[in-house]
Amino acid sequence: MADVFRFADDLGPLEIVHIHRPSVGLKAVVAIDNIACGPAVGGVRMAADVSAEEAFRLARAMTLKNAAAGLPHGGGKSVIFADPKMALADKERLIRAFASAIADLTDYIPGPDMGTDELAMAWIKDETGRAVGLPREIGGIPLDEVGATGFGLAVAIDVAARHIALDLKGARFVVQGFGSVGRHAARHLAAKGAVLVAASDSQGAVLDETGLDIPALEALKAEGKSVKDYPRGRAVAADAIIDLPCEIWIPAARPDVITAGNAGRLKTRLVAQGANIPCTPEAEAALAGRGVLILPDFIANAGGVICAATEYQRGTQAQAFATIADKIGENTEAVLAEAKRTKSSPRAAALSLATAKVRRAMQMRRW
């Protein structure tokens, strides 16, 4: 536990619960960071290499993301130590055991994350009566299928582009990680006139300065192939898309992909963070020093959780998209204006606005 308390501060974490059920091989940690704004919403991550510290850091990120988005939810996250590629029947047994173990943690509402999906949320809802990111059949809005986060990212980029006088018509953009977030962001940006010049996935990348055909790339991915199998353009190593000149660079894959070591290779005006913590603090500082605008993850990629919160309130998909457009548009404006006013980075401005909201909510509660 010492590692977790090393990070504790006046916001949280409220609770870190370790779960061990040797009979079913379940080892998990639930971190409930802060519930001043409402019950904590946050994903259930299943991976072999997770840690309690990671659960807490992700839970804090959710506290800030949910507060920034003005949702009536605090932040939480849970991790299950297991290989998500196990047989489905084993996964169901493990997830149901996890769900029954958290049944009394009513301040925590689970959602999907790496290694879990809508079906897993259906099992959790079945056991506990609460979960978001559910299948349509039981009232869910499948947020990856409908592209809630990618849509929100495109809204944030639209606002940021105006701040740096960038015309989206003809603007070249690159997507690292052509998955749920990346491909939907690409569709919505292309609809605004921007041109996708490179895309990557874990197996490789493809470049075409004249523009890639997004539906064709989506069709390849749907067949289980890689973007590098795209028949036109130039197939290159996944990492090569860092060097391609563009106006907008979208990390939508893994954390820490841009570091002090490779930030100098990026030739872009705007980095729009679809992934969570894709740039190290040193990389963000180096990019800002070169005048690159960075849209911070917890502002730009909040579409998914806004969709989940709408689902929880029994709202419709159309209401979710309208709320995403409103909230992400307003927040991006507010963050960029505050950053300009205080001569700070958008991340520092966003952190200060979000923490102030959580602190105000904490003052309204009896502890």
- By the criterion CB under 6 A, which residues form the site for ligand NAD? 143-144, 149, 176-182, 200-202, 238, 252-254, 274-276, 301, 304
Give the containing element (helix H, strand E) for 86.
Answer: none
Q: Which is nearer to ligand NAD, 46 or 101 (CB)?
A: 46
How near is the Cβ of 235 to ligand NAD at its closest, in Å?
13
To the nearest 10 degrees (0 to 180), the angle between helices 180-191 and 214-222 is: 160
Q: Which is nearer to ligand NAD, 121 or 143 (CB)?
A: 143
How near is the Cβ of 254 to ligand NAD at its closest, in Å?
5
- Say how many CA atoms lie within 13 Å of 7 toward its Cβ: 20
Torsion from C-alpha of 5, 77, 28, 123, nearest 10 degrees? 160
How near is the Cβ of 278 to ligand NAD at its closest, in Å?
7
How near is the Cβ of 189 to ligand NAD at its closest, in Å?
15
How near is the Cβ of 275 to ligand NAD at its closest, in Å?
3
Question: Does residue 135 have a cis peptide bond before it, meaning omega lies within 30 degrees of 0?
Answer: no
Retrieve residue 105's tokens. Answer: 């943690």
> Which residues, at least 6 apart from 196, have a Cβ–Cβ distance to it below 8 Å?
173, 174, 175, 186, 189, 190, 211, 212, 214
The label of the residue with tokens 């036109």 reads 232
**First and final CA of the chain: distance in angstroms?**
23
Annotated catalytic residue within 27, 65, 77, 221: 77
Specify whether 65 is catalytic: no
Q: Which is nearer to ligand NAD, 97 or 173 (CB)?
A: 173
Residue type at 35 in one-letter notation: I
The label of the residue with tokens 């196990």 reads 86
So which residues are the catalytic ones? Answer: 77
